[in-house]
């Protein structure tokens, strides 16, 4: 990736986007569109179809037909694998184009977007494509007069509702294992990150995926998302987003067909730095990126740093230096380390948390709106250096570049503070003491506990939350559990 390639794409005109339903690019049934406004400069980028309930039902019906007639699920796993691998190649060939389009829509810095969006989707599709012809069923150890077989079957029609921070990465964590498993899908992208998902779904058709297998309906959560959640024809619903929406989806499932619902929700992840951290500079540097990359709009962001009191002041100083060095600005400048905040609403929310901490007398470093000549939504990283457990900024997910730092005295206190949250998505511990590291991994209630690092785990390990961070897992072979059912054949010989 070089800057001139990015610059050649940054102002390219973007045609209006439609839904992809049953292999066809179709506008909304009532012709309505939504204007996409770029957070880079506040200028309109294009439009997409504003989906209706009827559009969503048409997509679900298409996915239902495609599943029931076996046009995809009855293809041998090696056949599906071939299509998926071709699809990954097509996405890879267009990676930069897709990354720039995504950045123009959601503001993520391009260096990260390229890796974390199209290229991550490519790797994810390849991983599940390669895995699907290596999953065996079971023959159980029964009385010899019987044969007990356990088949794995695709669950049927999967509905997916995804957020705006990493649409392709998070989208692929869901669509790649679901499609590899032989399911069909209706996916609803977030309102402020729709375009790349539509384009990627079009490439699936080009790769030979039959029409109706992968449908994308763009539009608003309470309309399109709600119609998916309420459908009697969606067998499984997978979601990444806020806890509030997650609750609505569970209610809708209970009121409709009891579809299984898997939720990946938010976090308020503790990042615990002991005085015996192997290298405090490294801890400060990695912790800064663990919260400030993509302007803090990362579900696993390490937003609550807990620091052993004896190194608290030194750590804050190092963290502040790291934060001040982060280059915030034009996300299409490849040197930028934190791009635009996704929306005005999100930016105002971030600044509100900072203002409240200041008013409460906390020491706040940074956290200002950055005005740029071009307009756009930018904010400098914020550190609340002496946050207390009762502070709202310590308790609630900001989903922005705002981190709290809180001192502790003992390991037991660190564990208590770490677990003093309704969330349980991620955590980290920095220590040279191996036994302490393993004790912390056991005691912290979170889906992932990093040791002497933050973020960057690969596809081979699962990602999922405990407590109010959700249920079920994306990534790893365990992701197949959501999309493959077990069926028993009990045969009297």
- Which residues belong to the active site? 264, 299
Q: Nearer to ligand NAD by C-beta: 52 or 322?
A: 52
Interface residue with ligand NAD among 190, 307, 351, 398 (CB under 6 A) is 190
Task: Out of 132, 204, 299, 332, name the contact with ligand NAD by CB under 6 A.
Answer: 299
C-alpha–C-alpha distance, residues 386 and 40, integer Å? 32
Show the tokens assigned to 216: 């994308």
| 402-408: strand order across its sheet | 364-366, 382-384, 402-408, 304-308, 270-273, 426-430, 448-451
Choices 87-95, 140-148, 162-170, 435-443 (CB under 6 A): range interacting with ligand NAD = 162-170
Which residue among 10, 94, 248, 467 contacts ligand NAD (CB under 6 A)?
248
Stretch that binds ligand NAD, among 69-77, 95-103, 220-228, 478-486 (CB under 6 A): 220-228
Nearer to ligand NAD (CB atom), residue 343 or residue 419 = 343
Q: How far is the CB of 231 from ligand NAD (least distance, A)?
A: 11
**Interior angle at CA 287, CA 283 and CA 289, nearest 5:** 130
Q: Distance between CA atoms of 76 and 133, rounded to whole angstroms? A: 8
* Tokens matching residue 210: 């039959």
Question: Which span (132-140, 236-244, 312-320, 450-458) binds ligand NAD, by CB under 6 A?
Answer: 236-244
CA dihedral for 239, 245, 247, 251, sign (positive or negative):
negative
Residue nearer to ligand NAD on the CB measure, 154 or 189:
189
Candidates 55, 191, 233, 481; binder of ligand NAD (CB under 6 A) is 191
Residues touching ligand NAD, count (CB under 6 A): 28
**According to CB under 6 A, which one of 161, 185, 306, 448 is a site residue for ligand NAD?**
161
Say whether residue 270 binds ligand NAD (CB under 6 A): no
Contact 184, 204 (CB under 8 A): no
Q: Which is nearer to ligand NAD, 104 or 188 (CB)?
A: 188
Q: At what angle do helices 118-132 and 195-206 cross, to 10 degrees?
A: 40
163 binds ligand NAD (CB under 6 A): yes
Buried b (16+ CB within 10 A) or exposed e, 433-465: eeebbeebeebbbbbbbbbbebbebebeebbbb
Nearer to ligand NAD, 156 or 225 (CB): 225
User: How many Å apart are CA 227 and CA 129, to the nearest integer?
Assistant: 30
Residue 308 near ligand NAD by CB under 6 A: no
* The one among 101, 226, 273, 446 contacting ligand NAD by CB under 6 A: 226
193 vs 164: CA distance, rounded Å: 5
Tell me whether strands 304-308 and 402-408 are parallel, antiparallel or unpaired: parallel
Look up tokens 């599940």; give the residue. 128
Q: What is the DSSP letter of 193?
A: B
Residue 235 contacts ligand NAD per CB under 6 A: no
Q: Is 222 in the site for ligand NAD (CB under 6 A)?
A: yes
Stretch 369-428 residues interacting with ligand NAD (CB under 6 A) = 397, 399, 425
Among left, alpha and beta (phi > 0; psi -120 to 50; other), residue 217 is beta
Of residues 339-368, which lie at the interface with ligand NAD (CB under 6 A)? none
Which residues in this chain contact ligand NAD in the complex, by CB under 6 A?
161-165, 170, 188, 190-191, 221-222, 225-226, 229, 240-242, 245, 248, 264-266, 299, 397, 399, 425, 465, 470
């Amino acid at each position: 990736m070089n800057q001139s390639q990015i610059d050649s794409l940054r102002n390219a005109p973007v045609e209006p986007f439609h839904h992809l339903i049953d292999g066809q690019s179709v506008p909304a049934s009532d012709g309505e569109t939504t204007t996409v406004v770029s957070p880079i400069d506040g200028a309109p980028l294009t439009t997409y179809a504003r989906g209706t309930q009827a559009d969503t039902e048409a997509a679900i019906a298409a996915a239902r037909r495609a599943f029931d007639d076996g046009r995809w699920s009855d293809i041998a796993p090696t056949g599906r694998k071939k299509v998926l691998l071709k699809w990954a190649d097509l996405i890879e060939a267009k990676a930069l184009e897709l990354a720039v389009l995504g950045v123009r829509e959601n503001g993520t810095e391009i260096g990260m977007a390229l890796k974390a969006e199209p290229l991550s989707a490519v790797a994810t599709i390849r991983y599940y494509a390669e895995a699907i012809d290596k999953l065996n069923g079971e023959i159980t150890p029964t009385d010899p007069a019987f044969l007990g077989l356990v088949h794995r079957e695709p669950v049927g029609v999967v509905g997916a509702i995804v957020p705006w921070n990493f649409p392709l990465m998070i989208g692929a964590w869901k669509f790649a294992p679901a499609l590899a498993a032989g399911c069909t899908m209706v996916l609803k992208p977030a309102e402020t990150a729709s375009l790349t998902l539509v384009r990627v779904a079009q490439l699936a058709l080009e790769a030979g995926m039959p029409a109706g297998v992968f449908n994308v309906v763009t539009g608003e959560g309470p309309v399109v998302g709600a119609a998916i959640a309420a459908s009697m024809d969606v067998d499984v619903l997978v979601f990444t987003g806020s806890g509030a929406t997650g609750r609505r989806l569970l209610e809708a499932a209970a009121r409709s067909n009891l579809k299984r619902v898997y939720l990946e929700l938010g976090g308020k992840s503790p990042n615990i730095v002991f005085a015996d951290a192997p290298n405090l500079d490294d801890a400060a540097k990695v912790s800064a990126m663990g919260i400030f990359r993509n302007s803090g709009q990362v579900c696993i962001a390490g937003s609550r740093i807990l620091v052993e009191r004896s190194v608290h002041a030194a750590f804050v100083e190092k963290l502040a230096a790291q934060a001040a060095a982060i280059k915030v600005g034009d996300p299409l400048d490849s040197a930028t380390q934190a791009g635009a905040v996704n929306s005005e609403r999100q930016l105002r929310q971030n600044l509100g948390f900072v203002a409240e901490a200041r008013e409460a007398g906390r020491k706040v470093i940074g956290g200002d709106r950055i005005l740029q000549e071009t307009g756009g939504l930018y904010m400098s990283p914020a550190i609340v250096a002496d946050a207390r457990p009762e502070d709202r900024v310590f308790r609630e997910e900001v989903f922005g570049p705002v981190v709290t730092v809180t001192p502790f005295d003992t390991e037991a206190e660190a564990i208590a503070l770490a677990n003093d949250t309704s969330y349980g998505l991620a955590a980290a511990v920095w220590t040279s003491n191996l036994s302490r590291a393993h004790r912390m991994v056991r005691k912290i209630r979170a889906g992932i506990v990093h040791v002497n690092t933050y973020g960057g785990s690969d596809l081979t390990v699962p990602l999922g939350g405990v407590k109010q961070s959700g249920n079920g897992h994306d990534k790893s072979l365990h992701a197949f559990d959501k999309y493959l059912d077990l069926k028993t054949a009990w045969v009297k010989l």
